[in-house]
Structure 1
Amino acid sequence: MTAIIKDREYLDFLSWQKKMGCPKTKLTLAEFSNTGRGMMATKDIKAGEVIVQVPERTLVTMKSLQSLYGARIARFGNKVNAHMIIALHIALLVQAPEESGWLPYLRLLPKKFDTMPVRYPPELFDLLPQNVQAHVHKQKAKIMSDYKTTLEFLRSNSDLLTRPLQYEEYEWAWLVVNTRCIYLDAKKQVAADNIALAPMLDFLNHTPDAKTEGFFCTKTKSYKIRTLLPYKKGEQVFINYGPHDNCFILVEYGFVTTSNPYNYVTVDNDFLELSIPGETPTAKKEKLDLLDMAGYFGDYVLHRNDVSFRLMTGMRLRLINPFHKSSVATQLAIAQWHDVINGELDQISSENERMVPIYIEKLCDEMLAHAKTKLNILVGTLDYKQ
């Protein structure tokens, strides 16, 4: 079920766009049952057509903000970054939206980011995979670091503020930039002046199947998105945020996609906790030390149709039993294990190779059981809150 959005806020936004020189498009904002708000084709769109054109004057970039903050930034030094300054700018616009001239755009930004893991309550955060939790911790630290630097910047630029800037205000603005910015040149993603907020373009949702190309057109002085796929009238039009797995998309954008071809599962902790019959604690530690010395400790992943070589390597070593490092038999098995890594042998032994898929399946079964337990906890938490 799809419903075209024609509320006053969106109509005001369209009028604002027209005043800013944005050309008409074959897109309109709509509510989709499976993805929420997104852009719908109002007419058939051919492959190769430009679907969105954003004039340079409406792009919010480090360059466009130079006239407002350039001298202040120059006096402050090189502690600032584009993400931090654009987030500060959005936060300041929200403090005085009527005066900014950007109210129609600001009204259409998300009111909150509760689907972002960085905003999860502890009982929900604790159910996330550990690699996702680690990603969230880094993101939280980055937001906090940028906020502290922003406060330091504002101490000598307090005239910019209508009121003190609270962490929650800055976090919201930082997430606006993080979830909606584009790279003006994908080849220069580390350039300080490379990210931008692009009104209208940022209403397009992501799918890994979308094929588009974005480029800045010097002739029209605008950023354009061209679709390489056709769309029929009434279909949702998508862009592609990049070849990211669902864990990355969840942390950075607050959603996941079904049938994501880039999905993989990190199994580092599950590998460490896997019980191998006959493996003593001493033997396990010695094996893990060997993996570390050989450069194969950690980063064990399962893809949709593949098992990583690192995981296979780790499992082969774990399945050498009995394991007595001082014995000739164990030393021979270790040497053969190194030969397998180097491609000089196909296997340590036929028995070892036979057991590898069995224990990888066992690892998967234990992970599934663990996941079901967490899902049951989640369902119970949601039922309790309802």
Structure 2
Amino acid sequence: MAGRGCRAGRAARRRRRKRDGSIQPESLSHQLRYVRLMKFLHQRGFTSTPLQPALFSDTDRGLQALHAIQPGGMLVSLPESCLLTTSTVLLSYLGPFLKRWKPPPSSLVALCVFLVCERHRGEASDWFPYIDVLPQSYSCPPYFTDSVMAVLPSGVRRRAEEQREMVRHLHASHQDFFRSLQPVLTRPAEEVLTYEALRWAWCSINTRSVFMTPPSSSFLSGPDNYALAPFLDLLNHRPDVQVKAGFNRATGCYEVRSLSGVQRHQQAFINYGSHDNQRLLLEYGFVSSCNPHSVVYVEEDLLCEAFRGGQSLDEKVLFLRENHFLDNLTVSDEGPGWRLLAALRLLSLPPLPCRHWRTVLLGQTAGEEEERSVLTAQTLCERLLKETRRSLQEISRLLQNCEQPIREQLEVVMSLRREERSILENCLEALQSTVEI
């Protein structure tokens, strides 16, 4: 299951409700857009659910349990006819255009174009009740300004820039296909299928789609496992809940069951997977408080900088890379990860024959190398902590004078950076205890 992004003004509404002391969930089911959504789903075979849309003080929009749901109870059972997949697109008015275009467009492009065209049609669209409740913008990397990019951790910034560039390339490389759709558009294709429109559609799919494999089609290319699930995608993520989710071929429905149960009037959650907050920000545009999977990553360039001038540095780095010990180097509240410590031990070695390096990776070291690696880990954490504090100061400065969409982006990054600061401070305490012992 993929998550949802922030609606414009989400952070402001959350602050206002907290300021006013409003902690009780506020039902949204009476609002016209949700009334239309439920009518749309019922017409397609959706029956009933123990959940209703509501506003919560901590997560903004989500789904509230109308009554207690026991462990193993059904949260949502959404018929296949309610899911928006590539099969939906191929059976629509876009089908003939997709089927004759060579080379075949990707499944992702097909879904993106369908969303943009349906949004362009407004209330004339069959899918308008769903599109009307989708966020207008997202706090994901394709929406990030350069100033927001600059305050991200270096590894996140690199991946965020790649993601933003990928969406730009997706738009630029499909201009001829977009122009071929002019017969079904009421305005020039370049005014409808803009970069901003495609970015919105891409983020809608990336943050909200569930995993499902429709029948394969020779008219589309690339992975085809995206399905947009109206209403179901209002479920928010929490890392400590357990659910069972997937398409049930026996019932013909995409089903989500709660394995832990939900109390009456409480928010029902889904679990997107064991993702740290960097991954959640990159893919879904939010961070999760008290995330047990959260860590701080140590990038290869910072590691090499700490040992710059050391003997056989290039050879050791190559050895680590070939043995996949430069991936996922992390620190947590409890201290450095074992992969990072293994890499530090090897890089701390005095001149030794290469045949001894593998034993070091397996944990066989002398006391001196162990102590030196712990001291280097302290140095790395101190450097990362200094950079994190500097970024938090810059975020505070930027927040003093920025518009609401940028504010929401900055607040998400600030949450990530604050968590990073806490992890690094705790890690340094753990390392100091190790040195004292």
Structure 1 unmatched ranges of 5 or more:
322-329
Match of residue 325 from structure 1: none
Q: 1:191 to 1:213 in 2, by over 3 A?
A: farther
Match of residue 337 from structure 2: 308
Match of residue 158 from structure 1: 182
In the TM superposition, residue 232 of structure 1 has moved relative to its aligned partner by: 0.9
Match of residue 3 from structure 1: 26
Structure 2 unmatched ranges of 5 or more:
1-22, 404-437
Match of residue 102 from structure 1: 127
Identity of aligned residues (%): 27
In the TM superposition, residue 96 of structure 1 has moved relative to its aligned partner by: 0.6
In the TM superposition, residue 156 of structure 1 has moved relative to its aligned partner by: 2.6
Match of residue 421 from structure 2: none
In the TM superposition, residue 282 of structure 1 has moved relative to its aligned partner by: 4.2
Q: 1:46 to 1:108 in 2, by over 3 A?
A: same
Instruction: State the alpha-carbon separation in 1 of the partners of residues 213 and 244 from structure 2.
Output: 11
Q: 1:84 to 1:304 in 2, by over 3 A?
A: farther
Identify which range, 142-151 or 16-25, moves more after superposition: 142-151
Q: 1:288 aligns with which of 309, 314, 319?
A: 314
Whether contact under 8 Å (1:90, 1:173) holds in the other structure is: yes
Q: 1:322-372 CA distances to partner (integer Å, 9 max, x unpaired)?
A: xxxxxxxx245x55434323x4x711x321212221221221122112101
Q: 1:293-322 CA distances to partner (integer Å, 9 max, x unpaired)?
A: 45257322224445334422332243345x
In the TM superposition, residue 245 of structure 1 has moved relative to its aligned partner by: 1.3
Q: 2:364 aligns with which of 340, 346, 353?
A: 346
Q: Which amino acid aligns with 2:326?
A: G
- Higher relative CO (Cα under 8 Å, sequence separation at least 6) belongs to 2
Q: 1:267-312 CA distances to partner (integer Å, 9 max, x unpaired)?
A: 12332333x6xxxx5436x313322145257322224445334422
In the TM superposition, residue 146 of structure 1 has moved relative to its aligned partner by: 2.5
Q: How many residue pairs were aligned?
A: 365
Match of residue 302 from structure 2: 270
TM-score norm. by structure 2 comes to: 0.77
In the TM superposition, residue 122 of structure 1 has moved relative to its aligned partner by: 1.3
Q: Establish whether residue 84 from structure 1 lines up as the match of residue 84 from structure 2.
A: no
Identify which range, 23-32 or 256-265, moves more after superposition: 256-265
In the TM superposition, residue 169 of structure 1 has moved relative to its aligned partner by: 0.8
Match of residue 232 from structure 2: 201
Q: 1:66 to 1:185 in 2, by over 3 A?
A: closer
Match of residue 274 from structure 2: 243
Whether contact under 8 Å (1:63, 1:193) holds in the other structure is: no
Match of residue 43 from structure 1: 67
Identify which range, 215-224 or 169-178, moves more after superposition: 215-224
In the TM superposition, what are the counterparts of 1:199-238 in structure 2 within 5 Å? 199-238=230-269
Instruction: State the alpha-carbon separation in 2 of the partners of residues 362 and 318 from structure 1.
Output: 14
Whether contact under 8 Å (1:181, 1:197) holds in the other structure is: yes
| Partner secondary structure for residue 237 of structure 1 | strand
Whether contact under 8 Å (1:88, 1:150) holds in the other structure is: no
Q: Establish whether residue 375 from structure 1 lines up as the match of residue 392 from structure 2.
A: yes
In the TM superposition, residue 218 of structure 1 has moved relative to its aligned partner by: 3.4
Q: 1:185 to 1:76 in 2, by over 3 A?
A: closer
Q: 1:208-233 CA distances to partner (integer Å, 9 max, x unpaired)?
A: 12211223233442221111111111
Match of residue 124 from structure 1: 148
Q: 1:122 to 1:230 in 2, by over 3 A?
A: same
Whether contact under 8 Å (1:287, 1:317) holds in the other structure is: no
Alpha-carbon RMSD across the aligned residues, in angstroms, is 2.5
Q: Establish whether residue 177 from structure 1 lines up as the match of residue 177 from structure 2.
A: no
Whether contact under 8 Å (2:106, 2:222) holds in the other structure is: no
Instruction: State the alpha-carbon separation in 2 of the partners of residues 79 and 145 from structure 1.
Output: 17
Whether contact under 8 Å (1:62, 1:192) holds in the other structure is: no
Q: 1:20-58 CA distances to partner (integer Å, 9 max, x unpaired)?
A: 221111111111111110001011111112211212222
Q: 1:233-275 CA distances to partner (integer Å, 9 max, x unpaired)?
A: 111101111221111110111100012222222212332333x
TM-score norm. by structure 1 comes to: 0.87
Instruction: State the alpha-carbon separation in 2 of the partners of residues 177 and 8 from structure 1.
Output: 24
Structure 1 or 2, whichever has the larger Rg, is: 1
